[in-house]
Amino acid sequence: MSICVNMKELSPSFNKLNALLKLNILKCSSLRKLLASIGQLNVLLKLNRLGCSSLQELPASIGQLNALQELDLSECSNLQKLPTSIDQLTAF
């Protein structure tokens, strides 16, 4: 997904994409948070949130992404803090 400036949230059924390897969310300036269900994407290798300037937080479930090798939060200027569960990411 790119340049989706009016998108405020991802669909709750997003977690059904359990074979998803890469998720690029680029320049979605109205998107404030990711759903907690993102932690169910067990095989996700790359999560890129470039230019999502309204993003304020990541869900604690981000720590459940055991296969995650790349996390890019460039230009997410309103991100306040990372959840403590981020320490659980081991594939880096």
pLDDT at position 19 is 93
Structural domains of the chain in order of their starting residue, each with its CATH number: 12-88 (3.80.10.10)
For residue 72, what are the β-bridge partners?
48
Two tokens at 27?
């320049």
C-alpha to C-alpha distance for 18 and 31, rounded to whole angstroms: 22
Two tokens at 5?
């400036």
pLDDT at position 4 is 77
pLDDT in tens, the chain (92 residues): 666 778 888 888 887 888 999 998 888 888 888 889 899 998 999 999 888 889 888 999 999 999 999 999 998 899 988 999 999 988 75
pLDDT at position 2 is 67
> Helix, strand or coil for residue 12?
helix
- Its pTM stands at 0.84
pLDDT at position 63 is 94
In order, the DSSP letters of 41-83 are -TT--EEE-TT-TT--B--GGGGG-TT--EEE-TT-TT-----
